[in-house]
Amino acid sequence: MSDEEDDIILSELDDEELVQQMFDDLYDGLKEEIEEGVNILLERGWAPYDILTKALVGGMTIVGHDFRDGILFVPEVLLAANAMKGGMAILKPLLAETGAPKQGKMVIGTVKGDIHDIGKNLVSMMMEGAGFEVVDLGINNPVENYIEAIQKEEADILGMSALLTTTMPYMKVVIDAMVEQGIRDDYVVLVGGAPLNEEFGKAIGADAYCRDAAVAVETAKEFISRKHNQMAAG
């Protein structure tokens, strides 16, 4: 890093320059700088959700492109992920502070063979912010983990995340096991992750595919209110 770059004072940048700088800092895996950037944007009155999507997810998208193109490798991407998590940790309590009315309960986890958890964590945070209780099973979950948890927690929603084309078919394994046990229709199943799409969601028998955390919240709310209406009608 050159002296010139060392001298950048984040608080002196305007919003647009700061977000650009945060893209660079995320790319370089600079956790402290990301945390500082998040705090500055908060002080400037940015909504936590905008910081999350515009600065952090925006930065991670660039990392994703260069990872795909072989410019970045796993160690660097891990550092970027770590920096992103630092920023997310600051935003988490703020997103949960909305005082939204209690909506329902979601069990969420990344599927077996897959250790990507940033997107899942983001969905958890946003769901909590919207008033859902979230039980997070973490990464690398075999079918038993999901089934045990949804029953024990009496969840309304099961959320599964997969970021690899090799792990996404495992979602069907979980849904098929639910069908076999006669419990599939007791839960709303939402699936997500970069390589998925709506068609895949339908094909495996999920209730919905959600492309991002905001859509996940909207979709979950819709299903829960439908469920309440059905209960009221029945």
Burial of 6 per CB tally in 10 Å (0-12, 13-18, 19+): exposed
Q: Which of 22, 130, 160, 188 binds ligand B12 (CB under 6 A)?
A: 160
Task: By CB under 6 A, name the one of 42, 90, 212, 221 that touches ligand B12.
Answer: 212
Reading the block at residue 139, the tokens are 């990464």
Residue from 18, 26, 123, 175 in contact with ligand B12 (CB under 6 A) = 123
Question: Shortest gap between Cβ of 137 and ligand B12 (angstroms)?
Answer: 11
Burial annotation 55-76 (CB, 10 A radius, 16+ → b, else e): bbbbbbeebbeebeeeebeeeb
11 vs 165, which CB is nearer to ligand B12? 165
Handedness of CA 115, 30, 64, 59 (dihedral sign): positive
Edge-to-edge strand list for the sheet holding 157-161: 132-136, 104-110, 157-161, 188-192, 208-209
Residue 165 interacting with ligand B12 (CB under 6 A):
yes
**In this complex, which beta carbon is closest to ligand B12, that of residue 81 or of residue 100?**
81
Assess 193 for contact with ligand B12 (CB under 6 A): yes
Among 164, 169, 177, 184, binds ligand B12 (CB under 6 A): 164
Residues that bind ligand B12 (CB under 6 A): 57, 60, 63-64, 67-68, 74, 77-78, 81, 108, 113-120, 122-123, 159-161, 163-165, 190-195, 210, 212-213, 216
